[in-house]
Amino acid sequence: MRTITILQKTIFNTALMLVFLLSSSVNAQTSVKSTKSNSYSFNSSSKNGVKTYHIKNGQKDFRIEYEGEITLSNDDKDIIGISRGGFIEIKKSSFGTKRRILIHNESGTLVKKYFVGWSEKPFNSAGKKWLADILPEILRTTTIAAKSRVDRFYRKGGASGVLSEVSKMKSDYVKSAYIKLLLEKNLSTNDLVKTIQSTGKYIKSDHYVSQILKSNQKAFLKNDRTITAYINATKSIDSDHYISSVLKKVIEDSSISDKQLGSLLEITKGISSDHYISQLLKSIMKNRTLNDANMAKILTLTKDIKSDHYKTNILKIALKNKNLSTKAYAQFLSTVKDIKSDHYISTIITELLKNKLDRTSLNTVLKMMEETINSDHYLANIYTKMGSKNMLSESQLIMVMESTSKTINSSHSLSKVLLSFAKQVNRSSEKVKSAYRKAAKSVNSDTYYGRVMKALN
């Protein structure tokens, strides 16, 4: 029996230790901000119309439940009204002391009760004083009566009055709720700029900053001053995901002018991920008809992308724009030259070949091939595609013949290319045939050379 008792105690003690370790782990996860001597956490939920808040700040522990519309006194130190059927219960534990206030609307009459521990105390003395002490803190950590408070602060001090109150709050959730309510007002340009600046200054959460910047974009993009403030506010966002979500929202708005879009492209400079920047630039090109200035900005931003894969995807879409200006086309070609991979460069050149090539553009393509592609395999594939087009003029054919012998070292690859042009050459003048024969002399293999010459009439 004694052995069983000792074993039971051991199991019990072990279980207690596991419970302690698990509870410590949970507390560590729910703490939003912590130091050695202090921690702050905020949680909120809503069920069946009842809203619940739980706020921990060091040794202070608030639990608030309420339902209905709460009316406050002008000094925020008393609750003077609750809509019919509504209630509010405030519980606070601090250094071992537990207090509770319950206020509810009973058939149109406001009933207030105050408890210390399990004992009810008179409300009109200690209870009223305690509520006056804790209510301002509660209001700054929850959205209780947020709309009426925003209205009151706005009447007294305008946007600055509301933003001053926001600066005293700890929760980004609550700050963003107040700023969104402020943005429902008919704000002047000065007030809009202040509000945007305060959003980036007071709110640390990328999620809430991006929500605000997406919530009222037409007002934010009112003029150059608000646009500048808007762009600066996005610089406070660290996450590429959230920066992208802000700009995507802009792109979806067809009322955004080319000038506004051009300014907002500055936002993309804060994005470090090739994936996110390429998704954005592709979305812009697919959803908007870009003027020359904005297309130039897109190509400049593309040039900074490190990944050949993402850079190529954007350039392929840009190439489908039939109205690329001379300047934009030059930028396009410059960006292609930054691609290191023969595979991706050949992909772009293949896209270029889908368009009708004049002498200048063909010369550009051939020069690009000579300067950027090292692989005989990829070069041969591109030349072969040219040969299959059967659309080159005689002068263009001569240019290609001269280029093949300069760029391709492999006799097998060079013979394959020349054979792909044989039909066009046979239909052409002696000058073209002479250029073909000259290129064939670079084929070192007798077997391949014989095949190439046999194809010539």
Task: Encode the chain (457 residues) as per-residue pLDDT tens digits.
Answer: 444 444 444 444 444 444 343 333 333 333 333 323 346 677 888 888 899 988 887 777 889 999 999 999 999 999 999 998 899 999 988 777 889 999 999 888 899 999 998 899 999 889 999 999 999 988 998 999 999 999 999 999 999 999 999 999 988 999 999 999 999 999 999 999 999 999 999 999 999 999 999 888 888 888 889 988 998 898 889 999 999 998 888 887 777 888 888 888 888 888 999 999 999 998 888 888 888 888 888 888 898 899 999 999 999 988 887 667 778 888 888 888 889 999 999 999 888 888 777 778 788 888 888 888 999 999 999 999 888 776 788 998 999 999 998 899 999 999 999 999 999 999 999 999 999 999 999 999 999 999 999 999 8
**Rounded CA gap, 273 and 259, in Å?**
25
pLDDT of residue 181: 95
pLDDT of residue 143: 92
Strand 50-57 relative to strand 39-47, pairing = antiparallel
Find the angle CA(185)-CA(186)-CA(192) to the nearest 5 degrees: 90
Residue whose tokens read 């391709």: 408
The pTM for the full model equals 0.72
Contact 392, 424 (CB under 8 A): yes
Domain extents for the chain? 1-30, 39-136, 145-272, 340-457
DSSP-derived 3-state class of residue 96: coil
The pair of three-digit structure tokens given for residue 313, joined into one six-digit string: 């995807």
Phi, psi (5° rounding) for residue 328?
-65, -40
pLDDT of residue 285: 87
Contact 246, 211 (CB under 8 A): no
pLDDT of residue 342: 93
Architecture of domain 340-457: Alpha Horseshoe (1.25)
pLDDT of residue 390: 67
pLDDT of residue 323: 67
pLDDT of residue 1: 40
